[in-house]
Structure 1
Amino acid sequence: MTYVIAQPCVDVLDRSCVDECPVDCIYEGSRALYIHPDECIDCGACEPVCPVEAIYYEDDLPEEFGPYLADNAVFFATPLPGREQALGSPGGADDIGPLGVDTPLVAGLPSADPGKETG
């Protein structure tokens, strides 16, 4: 089981959850944050600090955000545009920094800022 970051985070990137995470398992894409499913220890520290209520325990994920469960895994297990190989499990986001790439699901969403183009 793991926590999942869903659509309300897209184009927000508040990072309160990153600051709260004791195991550094929340990685930054270009438009969204992603929780590594193998590195997450299910402590729940990230969920209450999210200002847009985008973080859910896997079993509590609302149906409309169901695709984000697999999407979070795709971010780590699949080569994405601009990244030749899958990220895998690097063991912490802090050393890597922002990755500047998103999954096709997130990249394909309309921008929260209508004047800004998306991936």
Structure 2
Amino acid sequence: MTFVVADNCIKCKFTDCVPVCPVDAFYEGENFLVIHPDICIDCGLCVPECPAEAIFQDTHLPEAQQHYLRLNAELAEVWPNITELKPAPEDANEWLDVANKLPLLIK
């Protein structure tokens, strides 16, 4: 089992979840974070830390966001690891709860 970062993280990219991860499973792109499924130990510590409520256990990932499971795995292989809190984008709060942000993802 693993946790998955889904749609609501795109363009928000709050990193509050990163420093609580005991195994450094987060990876960072320009406007999105992902969790490496082979590193995640399914502890769930990141979930309550995410202001965007964008992290789901793989078994509870909404049907419409199932593609994020594959996307997290793929991008975690090419993006750099992130282990520390960083400032969120200046306009992060404006993007909270905007639906269907996948076309805005910068790979």
Report the TM-score when normalising by structure 2. Answer: 0.74
1:35-73 C-alpha deviation (Å, 9 max, x unpaired): 011111110000111111100000000011111001111
In 1: Cα distance, 2:102 partner to 2:56 partner: 22
Identity across aligned pairs (percent)?
Answer: 43
Decide whether the 8 Å contact of 2:9 with 2:33 is kept in 1: yes
- In the alignment, is residue 32 of structure 1 matched against residue 26 of structure 2? no
How many residue pairs match? The answer is 91
Q: Secondary structure at the match of 2:73?
A: helix
RMSD: 2.5
User: How far 1:110 moved relative to its partner?
Assistant: 3.2
Opposite residue 8 of structure 2, the aligned amino acid is: P
1:64 equivalenced with 2:68 (yes/no) = no
Greater RCO (Cα-Cα under 8 Å, separation 6 or more): 2
Bigger-Rg structure (1/2): 1
Pairwise CA distance, 1:93: 3.5
Moved over 4 A (4+): none
Aligned to 1:12: 12
TM-score, normalised with respect to structure 1: 0.67
User: Residue 76 and residue 14 in structure 1: after superposition, are their counterparts in 2 closer, same or farther (change >3 A)?
Assistant: closer
Structure 2 residue ranges without an equivalent (≥5): 85-100
Q: Distance in 2 between matches of 1:29 and 1:11?
A: 10
How far apart are the structure 2 equivalents of 1:52 and 1:25? 18
> What are structure 1's unaligned runs of at least 5 residues?
78-85, 96-106, 112-117
